[in-house]
Amino acid sequence: MIIQNAIVCDEDGERKLDVRIEDGVVTEIASDLSGGEVIDVQGAYLLPSLVDTNIRLQDSTLNAKNIKIISDEAMLGGVGHIVLNADSNPAIDNEIVLEFAQNGLHGLSGAKVDLMLNSLKEDATLSNIAILLKKGVVAPYMSTIAKNDIAIKIAEYVQMYKVTLFCKAEDNSLISSGVMLDGNISSKLGLAGIPNLSEVLHVSRMIEIARHFKIKILFKAIASPRSVSLINQAKKDGIDVSSEVSIHHLLKSDKECNEFNTTAKLDPPLASHTDMSELQKALRNSQIDCLTTLHQPSSPVNKEVAFYDAAYGCEALSDALPLYYTKLVRSGIISMSELIKLTVSNPAKSIGLKKGKIEVGVKADFILFNTKTKKFVQNTQSLYNKEELNGEVIQINI
């Protein structure tokens, strides 16, 4: 098969070339290729499929049906590889649940699905990290509600197995009663707020643990620009830490919670407009490492209720690439090749994979993206409902 007249874009940049694929592998990249089946894509982008390592299932319920739904939905948005968050119900914190989850991975026709393990059991004691890592999970997940002695034991396992620790920075005493960011909007709505310090304090703490044990930490769904600043200073000091930020925290602020809009009830909570602008600035300055859709779908019975009682999360996975392209690339915040680094290369690296390049010898895990089409989002559980997005993902049958 020859993909003709494509804009080939990967982490190294863009070039207009033809790509020959044989037996699912790239065998030639050049101009004016001929011979065999030819697909003229007329200037569409040829991209590595995206990777998202922070995805939740419907109502966070772990079962084969929900895994299949999320796998198929991911492909609609150009996401070819996802990692399910470990704090599901049941949580992936023991061998029985892991085996149950792995049985649900068989026969998927959509995106590849991997699993992370929850390092903490429900009673805040340590799960059997060694066994779960040996049985196929790609990364351990830890909330910083863990006490110091437990956090240190987790760090020792991460050091031993040379994996990346997925870390959610939060303070149990500060998040327990809050439902959105502590600030003017929460005061106006009369809702209990969560202060920025909940995240920042524990980013600092975990940076010191990473420094001491020389381990890799990816801080999940960072919402505070101060946290991003701390992580980047640590990187300059030689500490192997990195940041993941959701598309929502780059584009939406806590103002979205006005009128008690439960779609905007996210975890972590949406930041102030000032902090949102600072996060965009950090993205422009290459100070953010990974992007996520932070996809967390909920049934109406859990979302269409009072704000305080509503489930956290919104939906974005099926619109992932059009959303990234429209809001970040087309708007001029980042280039398409920078988007590939943020949504393919760096997330893949965090789970021990090398992705993000289109070159001879690589597996053809690609998508086509036609930027000339437009659509309106039709999803009441999306923060972008009724907004116009540019671009359409086209699957390639290789």
User: 384: closest CA among 286, 268, 274, 293?
Assistant: 293
List C-alpha distances in Å: 187 to 130, 190, 194, 207, 296: 45, 5, 11, 32, 26
Partners of 370 in beta bridges: 392
- What would the two tokens of residue 240 be? 């192997």
Residues 30-78: tens digit of each pLDDT: 999 988 899 999 999 999 999 999 999 999 999 999 999 999 999 999 9
Identify the DSSP state of 342.
Answer: I
Assess if residue 28 is contained within a domain: no
- What would the two tokens of residue 359 be? 């070159």
CB 118 within 8 A of CB 87: yes
Phi, psi of 26 (to 5 degrees): -70, 125
- What would the two tokens of residue 390 be? 């540019």
- What would the two tokens of residue 206 be? 């975990």
Ranges of the chain whose pLDDT falls below 50: none
pTM of the full predicted structure? 0.97
pLDDT of residue 282: 98
Within 10 A of 267 (CB to CB), how many other CB atoms are there? 18
3-state secondary structure 243-301: EEEEHHHHHCCHHHHHHHCHHHCCCCCCCCHHHHHHHHHHHHCCCCCEEECCECCCCHH
Q: Kind of pairing, strands 2-10 and 13-22?
A: antiparallel
How far apart are alpha carbons 252 and 272 in whole angstroms?
9
pLDDT of residue 368: 97
pLDDT of residue 211: 98
Assess if residue 395 is contained within a domain: no
- What would the two tokens of residue 99 be? 């085996």
Find the Cα–Cα–Cα–Cα dihedral 324, 326, 329, 330, rounded to 10°: 180
Q: Kind of pairing, strands 2-10 and 38-40?
A: parallel
CB 245 within 8 A of CB 252: no
CB 39 within 8 A of CB 394: no
Query: What is the count of structural domains for the chain?
Result: 1
CATH number of the domain that 147 lies in? 3.20.20.140
Q: Which domain holds residue 61?
A: 49-355+372-390
Assess if residue 30 is contained within a domain: no
pLDDT of residue 398: 67
Assess if residue 2 is contained within a domain: no
How far apart are alpha carbons 366 and 60 in whole angstroms?
29
Assess if residue 3 is contained within a domain: no
Phi, psi of 227 (to 5 degrees): -60, -45
Assess if residue 274 is contained within a domain: yes
